Chains A and B, each alone.
Chain A
């Protein structure tokens, strides 16, 4: 602050607080809706303060699901989402860190070809090539499987680039010292490079976990069995089912559960999150 303008400061606080309230409002209403019974949620105007049905609603969706024919209990969709998100985050980090290691620390024919082959994947999000990718996955017999949910999404250039940038900044003296001491490349990788990459890995993990958890179109296309549904797609699916009597309370409880894990990750790993966001976007 360069000068004291109490009015302007108060005004700034006011604007930011107003922004916070507007941004949080949809989630507040979702929470409120998830704590009432079905009847209350059918009469407009709906209440603005939480009700008494919190435990009942959440127990019901977790153990039984939305309660219609063919619905899946949320514990199962949450498990699927968790497997998918962890698989994508860990898989991406694992294959990119070794690819970046090879590209930075070795000289070999086709090195730059590989580099550019990885580089161009940066350009096309999965949504653009969705129809043919679906065809490939169907041909490989990977529909309705965890490998089909995870593997097509773990090829990504961002992680490889991040690790490449980081490896290039690692001093050459470390490599020389390791070579003088007779360490093999893999030994150097495990004992020196990997421990040094911890912060980058953490930052990347947060971003990729959220990316994996929030996938929508991909699981929607390749899963037909309910036992492979993810929580994000079931929420949106149930919201679009035309019912005579919609159970908003249960639907919103499901939506809360779908948001909770990634939001907790962002709030509690905020430093890694901000770092990952800034670093992956260059």
Chain B
């Protein structure tokens, strides 16, 4: 889409785009180029010499069982975050949409977790499940479950998933609620007159009509689980115990800053860039289709 009426100026438009273009070049294209460049180099520990090794960093990565472990973990983690997050918020949105009285108040009470930083959310959940003073850990112990996320890998992963779902719940809820409210009431009424009960109406009318929103949220949630959960992991477990919560984005940081393996970390960055570009393309293709819908 283009404007019919425009202004004729020679230099002004360049001046206007300059700030954004300069910042994009310096803080986006330059580092991204560096990541690609460094991913084909090996640098010695003192940073002085670097040697061109072509795809060795990538080959090394693909021969490293640790990388597959982290990749597998990331897939499990994002599947859990996406299904639990979407399931819970869909349930809440459907229920909130049903009730007439109080729907607005419910919305207000469910939007605020979005404003809590993921890193702070990690600290809050860590406090609830803290092995020595956490109230939930205490209750669990009372019913005979020994909960210690500091030493138990599965429990650590579970806790990170819970905190990640909690952080994303308001976002999913708002989009589901908006999707539900845009479904014409006449459709639901027609089905009701024909004798369809609430659950039949949900599965045969509401759910299919909501699927575009659901698909959109699925992609957003996967991107979130891949990249947005760094703060939660760092605040709660730092990837531990024994790498049981070291998702890919955390491994990039761990190998690059703590392990000082710049080449390996950059190679991982490049792979993640490809993943996020693919996900974004899927998202855009889909949104375009929804516009013509």
Q: List the interface of chain A (C-beta within 8 A of B).
A: 1-3, 5, 8-9, 12-13, 15-16, 19-20, 23-27, 29-30, 33, 41-46, 48, 94-96, 98-99, 101-108, 111, 114, 117-118, 120-125, 127-137, 140, 151-152, 154-155, 160, 167-168, 172, 175-176, 179, 185-186, 188, 210, 213-217, 220-221, 232-233, 235-236, 239-240, 248, 251-252, 255, 258-259, 262-263, 265-267, 270, 273-274, 277-278, 281-282
Contact = CB atoms under 8 A, between A and B. Distances in A.
A253 to B, nearest CB: 12
A95 B23 contact: yes
Given A12-B98, A117-B24, A129-B32, 5 more contacts: A26-B121, A106-B9, A213-B117, A236-B120, A240-B238
A270 B111 CA distance: 8
Contacts of B115: 210, 214, 259, 262-263, 265-266
B239 interface: no
Contact of A95 (B19, B95, B166): B19
B119 A233 contact: yes
Given A26-B128, A266-B115, A172 B3 contact: yes
Interface of B: 1, 3-10, 12-14, 16-17, 19-21, 23-32, 34-35, 38, 88, 91-92, 95-96, 98-100, 102, 106-128, 132-135, 138, 166, 169, 171, 174-175, 178, 185, 188-189, 192, 198, 220, 227-228, 230-231, 234-235, 238, 249, 252-253, 256-257, 262, 265-266, 269, 272-273, 276-277, 280, 287
A133 B252 CA distance: 13
Contact of A124 (B16, B32, B116, B133): B32
A8 to B, nearest CB: 6
B124 A26 contact: yes
A236 B127 CA distance: 11
A240 B235 contact: yes
B259 to A, nearest CB: 11
A42 B269 contact: no
A266 B276 CA distance: 28
A282 B287 contact: yes
B99 A16 contact: yes
A248 B92 contact: no
A140 B14 CA distance: 24
Given A9-B98, A255-B123, A102 B13 contact: yes
Specify the main secondary structure of chain A where it touches its partner.
helix
A123 B280 contact: yes
A255 B124 contact: yes
A131 B252 contact: yes
Contacts of A140: 26
Contacts of B227: 125, 127-128
B5 to A, nearest CB: 4
8 contacts: A43-B133, A117-B21, A123-B277, A125-B276, A151-B23, A233-B119, A258-B120, A277-B171
B133 A235 contact: no
Given A30-B124, A121-B24, A123-B277, A214 B266 contact: no
A105 B12 CA distance: 11
In the complex, which of the residues B10, B29, B234 has the most CB atoms of chain A within 10 Å of its own CB atom? B234
Given A13-B99, A131-B257, A236-B234, A278 B178 contact: yes
Contacts, number: 302
Shortest 7 CB-CB contacts between residues of A and residues of B: A214-B117, A102-B16, A132-B31, A262-B115, A132-B34, A106-B13, A131-B256
Contacts of A155: 20, 23-24, 27-28
Contacts of B272: 128
Contacts of A210: 114-115
Nearest to A221: B257
A132 B280 contact: no
B45 to A, nearest CB: 16
A277 B107 CA distance: 14
In the complex, which of the residues B8, B102, B123 has the most CB atoms of chain A within 10 Å of its own CB atom? B123
A259 B10 CA distance: 47
A130 B19 CA distance: 22
A232 B117 contact: yes
Nearest to B99: A12
A196 to B, nearest CB: 15
Contacts of B113: 23
B218 to A, nearest CB: 13
B21 A135 contact: no
B231 A29 contact: no
Contacts of A259: 115-117, 120
A97 to B, nearest CB: 9
B88 A19 contact: yes
Contact of A216 (B26, B106, B117, B249): B117
A282 B20 CA distance: 20
A236 B188 CA distance: 48
A277 B220 CA distance: 13
B12 A273 contact: no
